[in-house]
């Protein structure tokens, strides 16, 4: 029992309750605990905190960069859509313009053709009218002659042309 | 072999003379002092140099340091909220000191710093002292409301003394819990170690029986490793809970 201690007195009793060791225990505890506190507070703590913060920062900035890239892609896509819509609108406008132009030309050509046809029609009408007048004259002359011949055959009288013409006109 | 002998605080390295006198008390360089210095120096070195600034993918050591840091930070945050983080360095030091002391004590032949009631009582008084200082600084005399629970007046006659006593016994419960756990575990290991030696020395067939306490020691060792961590955790979380009471009194947010 007496082994390992300076005196036999110390070996007796329950070692943790030996108050004569307390001053040394308190002293070394105060020194070592204060040392550890200062080291962790001023050196190790900020170091670990710094690493954790820089990792968090790196992750956040990566996420931000990814979000920015996505925004850019979305903007590019939107710009593409706008450009496409613009091009489509311009193409439609061109087509419309061409259609208008062609329609105008068609209308003009049709008007010209109509006018030509109208002219040809009125010329033909004039010819028809002239022929009608001539025919009507010929019919009157024939009727006059026939009337003179009929009167001469029936009565033997000679009727003048003027009388015959008046008679034909009367009938 | 006395299983209590391992708890003897005695001068180390043959330094039998006191280093100096402190208020009339001789201060020795003891086996416990050596272990405490080892504990704090190695802990400080590890927590400082395991971590390299800017190393975003941690090594095993850095991971351990970061995990212990965040473990304590989360503990404080969940127990006391945002304003408790001011006391992080203190709680972190307390946790690391107790944890490292417990683990260094598990090395056969070394000394368990936390198996001394003087050490655990000093740490517990430090905690309760901090709680009292923080409480009075934050609430002034309103801190005394801590002892007045929400109850009818006739119950308060009974409850206030109970609250006062429970507050005053905190240093004792906090220190004895850690001290007794460490003491019991290491005593048990020494007792079963003694069985192995005496059975082994008996000779013949009886020597073979020594394997039974040997296996038991292995099992208790594993249990003690768990207890070493658990007691450090309990000490730290109770510190957080007491700090929370000092910061927020009885209002349950």
Q: pLDDT digits over A131-153, tens only?
A: 999 998 888 888 888 888 888 88
Q: How confident is the model at residue A32 (pLDDT cuts 50, 70, 90)?
A: very high
**How does DSSP assign B116-172, residue by residue?**
-HHHHHHHHHHHHHHHHHHHHHHHGGGGGGGG--SS-HHHHHHHHHHHHHHHHTHHH
What does the alpha-carbon distance between residue B110 and residue B112 come to, in Å, rounded to a whole number? 7
pLDDT of residue A11: 55
Which of B2, B4, B51 lies closest to A47 in CB terms? Answer: B51
pLDDT of residue B144: 87
**H-helix or E-strand spanning residue B34:** helix B31-49
Judge: B26–A23 Cβ closer than 8 Å, yes or no: yes
Which of B10, B88, B93 lies closest to A5 in CB terms? Answer: B10
Mean pLDDT taken over chain A: 88
Chain A residue at shortest CA distance from B49: A44
Q: Please work out, in degrees rounded to the nearest 5, the angle formed at the alpha carbon of residue B205 by the alpha carbons of B201 and B209.
A: 70
Q: Please work out, in degrees rounded to the nearest 5, the angle formed at the alpha carbon of residue B245 by the alpha carbons of B240 and B250.
A: 145
Number of residues that make up chain B: 253
Whether the predicted pLDDT of A5 surpasses 60: no
B143-155 mean pLDDT: 84
Question: Which of A 43-82 lie inside 8 A of B, CB atoms?
Answer: 43-45, 47-52, 54-55, 58
Q: How confident is the model at residue B6 (pLDDT cuts 50, 70, 90)?
A: confident
What does the alpha-carbon distance between residue A10 and residue A21 come to, in Å, rounded to a whole number? 10
Q: How confident is the model at residue B1 (pLDDT cuts 50, 70, 90)?
A: low
B166 Cβ contact partners less than 8 Å away, ≥ 6 residues apart:
none
What does the alpha-carbon distance between residue A92 and residue B106 come to, in Å, rounded to a whole number? 87
Structure-model confidence comparison of residues B209 and B221, the more confident one: B221
pLDDT of residue B243: 92
Residue A30, min C-alpha distance to chain B (Å)? 9
pLDDT of residue A8: 43
pLDDT of residue A81: 96
Instruction: Find, among B29, B35, B26, the residue nearest to B11 by Cα.
Output: B29
pLDDT of residue B251: 62
pLDDT of residue A2: 37
Give the number of A-B residue pairs with CB atoms closer than 8 Å: 143
Digit-coded pLDDT (tens) for B24-82: 888 889 999 999 999 999 999 999 999 888 888 889 999 999 999 999 999 999 999 88
Structure-model confidence comparison of residues B249 and B47, the more confident one: B47
Digit-coded pLDDT (tens) for A63-96: 999 999 999 999 999 999 999 999 999 999 999 9
ipTM of the complex: 0.90
pLDDT of residue A159: 78
Chain A residue at shortest CA distance from B27: A24
State whether residue A17 sits within 8 Å of chain B by CB.
Answer: yes
Which of B30, B89, B116 lies closest to A16 in CB terms? Answer: B116
Please state, for a pLDDT cut of 70, what percent of chain A lies above it: 92
What does the alpha-carbon distance between residue B162 and residue B100 come to, in Å, rounded to a whole number? 35
What does the alpha-carbon distance between residue B40 and residue B98 come to, in Å, rounded to a whole number? 10
How crowded is residue B134: how many other Cβ atoms within 10 Å of its Cβ? Answer: 19
Rg (CA), chain A: 66
Judge: B96–A40 Cβ closer than 8 Å, yes or no: yes
* Chain A residues with beta carbon closer than 8 angstroms to that of B40: 32-33, 35-36, 39
Tokens of A26: 């308190």
* Chain A residues with beta carbon closer than 8 angstroms to that of B180: none
DSSP three-state, residue A153: helix
Helices (H) and strands (E) in chain B, counts: 8, 2
Instruction: Find, among B69, B122, B134, the residue nearest to B99 by Cα.
Output: B69
User: Do B48 and A39 form a contact (C-beta atoms < 8 A)?
Assistant: yes
């Amino acid at each position: 029992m007496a082994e390992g201690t300076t005196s036999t007195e110390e070996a007796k009793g329950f070692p943790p309750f030996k108050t004569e060791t307390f001053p040394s225990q308190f002293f070394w505890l105060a020194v070592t605990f204060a040392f550890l506190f200062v080291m962790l507070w001023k050196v190790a703590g900020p170091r670990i905190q710094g690493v954790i913060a820089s990792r968090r920062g790196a992750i956040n900035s990566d996420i931000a960069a990814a979000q920015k890239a996505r925004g850019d892609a979305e903007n590019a896509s939107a710009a593409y859509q706008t450009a496409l819509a613009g091009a489509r609108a311009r193409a439609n406008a061109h087509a419309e313009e061409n259609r208008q132009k062609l329609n105008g030309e068609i209308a003009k050509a049709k008007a010209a053709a109509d006018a030509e046809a109208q002219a040809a029609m009125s010329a033909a009408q004039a010819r028809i009218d002239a022929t009608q007048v001539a025919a009507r004259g010929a019919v009157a002359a024939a009727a006059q002659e026939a009337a003179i011949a009929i009167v001469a055959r029936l009565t033997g009288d000679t009727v003048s042309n003027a009388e015959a013409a008046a008679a034909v006109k009367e009938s | 072999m006395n299983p209590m002998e391992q708890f003897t605080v005695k001068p180390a390295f043959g330094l039998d003379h006191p280093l100096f006198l402190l208020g009339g008390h001789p201060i020795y360089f003891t086996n416990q002092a050596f272990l405490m210095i080892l504990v704090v120096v190695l802990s400080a070195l590890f927590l400082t140099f395991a971590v390299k600034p800017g190393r975003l993918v941690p090594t095993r050591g850095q991971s351990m340091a970061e995990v212990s840091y965040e473990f304590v930070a989360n503990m404080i945050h969940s127990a006391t909220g945002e304003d408790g983080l001011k006391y992080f360095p203190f709680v972190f030091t307390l946790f690391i000191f107790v944890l490292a002391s417990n683990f260094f004590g598990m090395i056969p032949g070394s000394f368990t710093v936390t198996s001394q009631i003087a050490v655990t009582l000093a740490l517990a008084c430090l905690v309760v002292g901090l709680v009292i200082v923080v409480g009075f600084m934050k609430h002034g005399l309103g801190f005394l409301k801590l002892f007045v629970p929400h109850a009818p007046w006739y119950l308060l006659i009974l409850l206030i003394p109970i609250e006062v006593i429970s507050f005053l016994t905190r240093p004792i419960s906090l220190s004895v819990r850690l001290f007794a756990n460490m003491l019991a575990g290491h005593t048990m290991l020494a007792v079963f170690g003694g069985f192995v030696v005496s059975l082994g020395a008996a000779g013949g067939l009886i020597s073979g029986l020594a394997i039974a306490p040997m296996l038991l020691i292995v099992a208790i060792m594993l249990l003690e490793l768990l207890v070493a961590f658990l007691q450090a955790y309990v000490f730290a979380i109770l510190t957080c809970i007491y700090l929370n009471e000092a910061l927020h009194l009885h209002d349950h947010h």
